[in-house]
Amino acid sequence: MSIIIIGAGPAGCEAAYRLAQSGEQVELIEKENETGGNLNNWYQLFPDRKSAKELNRLLRQNLNHPNIRVHLNCEPVKIIRENNSFSIDLNDGAQLQGEALLLTTGFRTFNARRKEEYGYGIYENVMTSVELENFLTNHQLQTSTGKKPERIGLIQCVGSRDEKICNFHCSKVCCITAVKQAVEIREILPDAEILCFYMDMRMFGPGYEELYREAQEKYNIRFIRGRLSEASENLSKQVMIKAEDTLVGKPIRMSLDLMILMVGMEPSEGTRQLATQLNLKLAPNGFLHTADPHYATNLTSTPGIFSAGCSTSPMNLTDTLTDARSAAIAIKEFLLSNRANTHKKH
């Protein structure tokens, strides 16, 4: 019997490959028509600016392993648990049998329309950090009227650390993403004024703090500590913002040619649906609850069902891949003890 993995983003791909390498059969289910998940929307990775495509290609290549079967455009419609095995019906009619289930259903980015005061979907020159990546891929950045933007603002914590929209958690990666994107914008627009509005800059990873410093010293990015309060649009389609510079203690009012919202992470639809379907415990922030935050990060509230990556909490890629490998080990241990038990009974 095999191991069933739901979600072929970076975590799913990496776990599949590691399990396959250890001799297990893996069924990898993906609802989209390609693997890679949210990584497909990214241009360069922080902090080293490595190409996202490259990493994606590597992860995809690993899936050619003979022990892995990938089911694209597939979603589980029915999951039944009998004794020590899972039986899953897919929407394409296939039926899979597995000894263990790994959920790598990941995150979705916050729907910025819910933060109406920032005008996303209402004002023409407001976009999300995800949409910006697409512009960066094409090395082009224009306003809606085709103008070269002169002042660009990046707004942190959109949908994160915000009790008003019920997201209390920090999405971790948006700070460094904003630094990276600000640098990338600078390379496209050497003369533009680039501002970043933040609550705290959380530079937790190796090389992050260094990039943050470089952004200020070398790339002339201005960091302003203060949350955006509201935005409006003027006749020339500029975004007029109101904020407070909390270090100076003064209100600020200015116009931006482009406003980028650094959207946070929320548990994806798949994560939510599966949690309900499988009756899994959720953490207060809506992500999957893990048995122990230090020692058992891959165990859910149900034995035999494991989780890895951003379905359990916001993570950067490094942590996601590490978590996936850790899940592979946890599953392997589970299988070995299961098989030993069955052996004893016989």
Is the Cβ of residue 18 or residue 272 nearer to other proteins in the bound state? 272
Asked if residue 111 binds other proteins (CB under 8 A), the reply is: yes
Using CB under 8 A, count the residues that bind other proteins.
Answer: 18
Exactly one of 34, 117, 200, 333 binds other proteins (CB under 8 A); that residue is 117
Exactly one of 164, 343, 345, 346 binds other proteins (CB under 8 A); that residue is 164
Asked if residue 249 binds other proteins (CB under 8 A), the reply is: no
Choose one: 37-45, 77-85, 227-235, 313-321; the region binding other proteins (CB under 8 A): 227-235
φ/ψ (deg, to 5) at 211: -70, -35
Exactly one of 41, 216, 232, 255 binds other proteins (CB under 8 A); that residue is 232
Q: Which residue has the tokens 């200020």?
A: 216
Exactly one of 151, 202, 227, 242 binds other proteins (CB under 8 A); that residue is 242
Q: Which of residues 168-187 bind other proteins (CB under 8 A)?
A: 168
Choose one: 93-101, 159-167, 184-192, 200-208; the region binding other proteins (CB under 8 A): 159-167
In whole angstroms, the minimum distance from the beta carbon of 116 to other proteins comes to 5
User: Rounded CA gap, 284 and 281, in Å?
Assistant: 10
Burial of 337 (0-12, 13-18, 19+ CB in 10 A): exposed
What is the CA 311 to chain-centroid distance, rounded? 9
As a whole number of Å, the CA-based R_g of the chain is 22
In whole angstroms, the minimum distance from the beta carbon of 115 to other proteins comes to 9
Exactly one of 119, 205, 264, 267 binds other proteins (CB under 8 A); that residue is 119
The secondary structure of 276-328 as a DSSP string is HHTT--B-TTSSBP-SBTTTBTTB-SSTTEEE-GGGTS---HHHHHHHHHHHH
Burial of 291 (0-12, 13-18, 19+ CB in 10 A): middle
Asked if residue 254 binds other proteins (CB under 8 A), the reply is: no
φ/ψ (deg, to 5) at 298: -105, 0
Single-letter residue type at 134? N
Exactly one of 34, 48, 92, 116 binds other proteins (CB under 8 A); that residue is 116
Interaction site with other proteins (CB under 8 A) = 111, 114, 116-117, 119, 122-123, 163-166, 168, 230-233, 242, 253
